[in-house]
Structure 1
């Protein structure tokens, strides 16, 4: 074991991702658990914690609101969204919310975004866009509007003072540097290329499109390399990989059995591309930290990055997440060359 990536770079930034699963009849319990997990991540030295959107499901639907709460319970860990699907959002209002949370966090927010038609759009269109559903555009121009807003470009032709009220031509508050911390969630080659061309950071997850290959690791590596070839910073452009890894070092026998059963239940979908979009899922990696480290160090996608955002399984218990995060930070990540951030 070398303790470094295939590009001879040790793991520089360690992050984790959760959907914030909750009981429909006790939503506070799940949200509070998520906030406690973020606090634990900071205590363990993780560099970042990320939340994923789950609209009309029993997971966090408003990650920006939850991260606003997290800003008041943490002081160092970076806070991200992975990702906000912009089809559900107004880029004007979202820019205001993101900037507000970034100010509250003192510059720790990492907004991750994606574009495309909202999931099950036909079923929700009359409630999401009752007057404009037929004309809404869900392509990259929506992301470009958000980026322009975050950069402080004018959004109003009215400025100055009206009575005792002062008006700004740009989104307020203005959060300097926030636009440079936007990440783009890409599953396909064209999205990876677009993110690079527009100078964004790249979030690569456990889901890709099998466009030119059927091997997950090679596909992920090709997307990251294309992204950097298009990015103004080239090889220095930030790209993060996110897989589901579940170390069992300190797990009880019952926990370890549950983890293996979870991975087994999801394994069949990883064998071939799924559906007309040829979606390919990465297998969950369950085992000792040594076994997981070996698997990662031989993974072509992992070899292309020095940042990770490991995804926590969807529906485990709070104590399971505590054990998994603790093992990742204290056992797995050091084998990959990572050192925890100072408190």
Structure 2
């Protein structure tokens, strides 16, 4: 069995070819897609976070709204760029959203991807040290503080004459949501970062690219990343089993519209390019008739190694079409591959 969810970037464009014309459209349709995915039997609704872009940028109002409309499905991010975040404010928002959801939040966080603007985190008021111009240490420092305060320990000295009575001792961030600390994921783009993720006791979220290339197919490199994560987790001695997710673009061709949109991507393959000044390997798109996809996906070592599969959806095609894609994977592929 494997958990299967969707990952949406939440694009919008005022274009006649887009079913998502505005920020309001993408927020409201994201909620509707989460509802539809739950009704179809999917396990997760995840949303990408990008600042200074016509995409989803403020996850907690969206996650809370989706939580209020659903009952079972996991709700998460993939990923929040921690360079932009106030760790304590984020802890309050995350605790509130998790309580609204009944403990269904699965928060993916990381340093983030290449930005729309130069050093966008500076506009949010955060200055990395001169030795950390890209903000990697800044993101990890913010993460460490966030993980610390969601654990529920008191740290703030109470006012001796407060407006409302205080409990004894130091005060903590409120509201607290028990168990949230075990549902934080780090979006790791390399094997070394996956090992660091395990040492911190976070779950592993691995996407459709890795910021390194060893010459082997993407799925094999990603499977090695997952194994290194699991080995590091064991070495760290954590007392729970970790979770691992991978993202894939999968489009079963089961009707004429599918064929019109994705037929030309049947021969997709890995791509090697450059990201942040280094070599990166990008995973392929899986498109084709179900029998063909079943054979191809059965060979994907990283999907086999992960407990969670996130389907990247073309959200500008609208809720109905994306629900169709999710349903096609759940009905035509998942049973044959042992995912259901």
Normalised by the size of structure 1, how large is the TM-score? Answer: 0.85
1:260 aligns with 2:256: no
Q: CA 1:148–1:160 in 2, change beyond 3 Å: closer, same or farther? A: farther
What displacement does 1:193 show?
0.2
Q: Separation in 2 of the partners of 1:116 and 1:18?
A: 15
What displacement does 1:160 show?
6.8
1:203 pairs with one of 205, 219, 229: 205
- Structure 1 segments unaligned to the other structure (5+ residues): 1-10
Give the match for residue 2 of structure 2.
Answer: 12
CA contact (8 A) 1:41 1:49 kept: yes
Describe the superposition over 1:186-232 as per-residue Cα deviations: whole angstroms up to 9, x where unpaired. 11012100111122111111111224444211210110000000113
Q: What SS class does the counterpart of residue 338 from structure 1 fall into?
A: coil
Q: What SS class does the counterpart of residue 122 from structure 1 fall into?
A: coil
> Could you say which structure has the greater relative contact order, defined with CA pairs below 8 angstroms and 6 or more residues apart?
1
Q: Separation in 1 of the partners of 2:262 and 2:141?
A: 41
CA contact (8 A) 2:47 2:76 kept: yes
Q: How does 1:1-343 map to 2 (within 5 A)?
A: 11-23=1-13, 26-115=22-111, 119=115, 122=118, 124=120, 127-129=123-125, 132=127, 137-158=137-158, 162-164=162-164, 166=166, 169-231=171-233, 232=237, 236-249=241-254, 251=255, 253-261=256-264, 263=265, 270-275=270-275, 276-313=277-314, 315-339=316-340
Q: Separation in 2 of the partners of 1:319 and 1:163?
A: 51
Describe the superposition over 1:66-111 as per-residue Cα deviations: whole angstroms up to 9, x where unpaired. 0110011001111111111101111111111011000000101011
What displacement does 1:303 show?
2.2
CA contact (8 A) 1:248 1:324 kept: no
CA contact (8 A) 1:86 1:113 kept: yes
Note the aligned Cα RMSD (angstroms): 2.6
More displaced 10-residue stretch of structure 1: 39-48 or 212-221: 212-221
Describe the superposition over 1:252-301 as per-residue Cα deviations: whole angstroms up to 9, x where unpaired. x233221235x48x958x33232432121111111123322221210121
Q: What SS class does the counterpart of residue 76 from structure 1 fall into?
A: coil
CA contact (8 A) 1:229 1:235 kept: no
What displacement does 1:120 show?
5.2
Normalised by the size of structure 2, how large is the TM-score? Answer: 0.86
Q: Separation in 2 of the partners of 1:122 and 1:176?
A: 37
Q: CA 1:338–1:219 in 2, change beyond 3 Å: closer, same or farther? A: closer
CA contact (8 A) 2:81 2:139 kept: no
- Structure 2 segments unaligned to the other structure (5+ residues): 15-20
Q: Separation in 2 of the partners of 1:337 and 1:47?
A: 15
Q: Separation in 2 of the partners of 1:55 and 1:116?
A: 10
CA contact (8 A) 2:315 2:322 kept: no
What displacement does 1:35 show?
0.9
CA contact (8 A) 2:209 2:280 kept: yes
CA contact (8 A) 2:213 2:280 kept: no
More displaced 10-residue stretch of structure 1: 209-218 or 49-58: 209-218
CA contact (8 A) 1:91 1:146 kept: yes
Give the match for residue 7 of structure 1.
Answer: none
Q: What SS class does the counterpart of residue 278 from structure 2 fall into?
A: coil
